[in-house]
Structure 1
């Protein structure tokens, strides 16, 4: 494989991340899952992914998954110290891949960054902030939960700027633009530095996922099957 996605750890976080990237358009046969549990790998292959049984901190296991040729690496083991070791080894094998890692505790996030992760997601901190938002504003909490669950309702989507949008302000586009990616910077839609959209920009928008078309034999709205 080349330019594929490697997922290290197929627990709750790894499985959810894998399903999210596939819901965004990545083919399942372009995903390689690494996990020390053979039963977990059996479950991953049953879903259509390629599986490698082994310890993701070992370079020989990562090479079996062809990490050195991967375009994206998702690191989601159960332990933060394991995440650090996997990140260090993966970055040594592949200096250019995009590496995203998950940690439980926020205090370990800087260490993941120093180890070579491009982005670090703190699971306990994110869950805590969502709990706090939900208790203060249940409606806002529902919207955030909808955005987190990809594939239905509202989704966050990153896309290139169209030629018709060049020269317009972000709020003048048809989509709801929340951020503009310009070079290596992520600018808010209302940031004075954003100005107007450029052809080389990318925008992060909130879109509504279309409802799937009912298949043959599916009940029509308002009709209850006998």
Structure 2
């Protein structure tokens, strides 16, 4: 189970975040601390028992000391036993009173952590899950995952539409600072993906840092959501085919892409610059993908007016602007076009 982690409104609508300390250990430490503070008070009261007066039988026994200490710490104070010497009164004022405050705070903190907070977290988790729809799930918030989130935000995706799954609390804190919902958990587990409502997501980004982990996440996602688009990052060329077989819609190899940029730079000093410009949001140009509009049906790909159309996808198959299929657009076609960047006005 994970404890919300993760913003104040929807920004910190963390689903759950798991405490690293077992519940029994945390409770045990609190019990020992309370017993230790109580033991100190009992010891001092017993040592200075002559400063106490028992209005019942006039004799202050060890049982009376325990009784007086407990009712003093719990602020009950029946008055049958009372401090009468200056030293006993000073001890009660300067030592027992702070101990009383610490014990009360410990009890309140324990009640909050193990009762109120858990109830509150479960309620928030249900509320967040109810509102999760058409969101983007990012599995892994390392270098590539965080850059992907930055690019999504730069392209206009709202932070509350992004859910980040990672096992690193530090990574989740960075994701939370961007306004994303976060969950500290294992993305390869069915329950984790069910918690983030993977079946209602519009896209999944997988960047687990290891190819085997990423492919396993893809398999798990595809098992739970048969149609959600999955983009996965793999570093070994041999694993690209495995990722596709696992159900990935898009497989990205940063090594291969870097090789393309390096090779392109050998054929012209500006090719690599233009390719990088297309991939980034803050460049002069960018790539955009959309569905053909009703007005464009029947027209050639070159007649698209919103940008420079460079590729057509029909039933999942790609066609270039020079191919016969691009001479007449059909309903349901997807087009890739080059449009001005967001900073070009």
Single out whichever of 190-199 and 104-113 deviates more from structure 2. Answer: 190-199
Q: Quote the RMSD (CA, aligned, Å).
A: 1.9
Within the alignment, does 1:69 sit opposite 2:204 as a pair?
Answer: no
Residues 95 and 131 of structure 1: CA distance in aligned 2, closer, same or farther (over 3 Å): same
TM-score (norm 1): 0.86
The corresponding residue for 2:322 is 190
Higher helix share: 2
Matches within 5 A, 1:23-172: 23-172=154-303
Q: How far did 1:195 drift?
A: 1.8
TM-score (norm 2): 0.58
Matches within 5 A, 1:193-208: 193-208=325-340
Q: Is this contact kept in 2: 1:178–1:188, CA < 8 A?
A: yes
Q: Is this contact kept in 1: 2:281–2:342, CA < 8 A?
A: no
Q: Provide Cα deviations, 1:61-90, integer angstroms capped at 9, x if missing partner.
A: 222222233221110111101111111111
Specify which of 137, 147, 162 is matched with residue 16 of structure 1.
147
Q: Provide Cα deviations, 1:176-210, integer angstroms capped at 9, x if missing partner.
A: 11011223222111111222223432321101124
Q: Distance in 2 between matches of 1:166 and 1:56?
A: 41
Unaligned runs of 5+ in 2: 1-131
Q: Secondary structure at the match of 1:14?
A: helix
Unaligned runs of 5+ in 1: 214-226
The corresponding residue for 1:216 is none
Q: Provide Cα deviations, 1:145-181, integer angstroms capped at 9, x if missing partner.
A: 1011124311001123344433322223332110112
Higher strand share: 1
Q: Distance in 1 between matches of 2:298 and 2:344?
A: 34
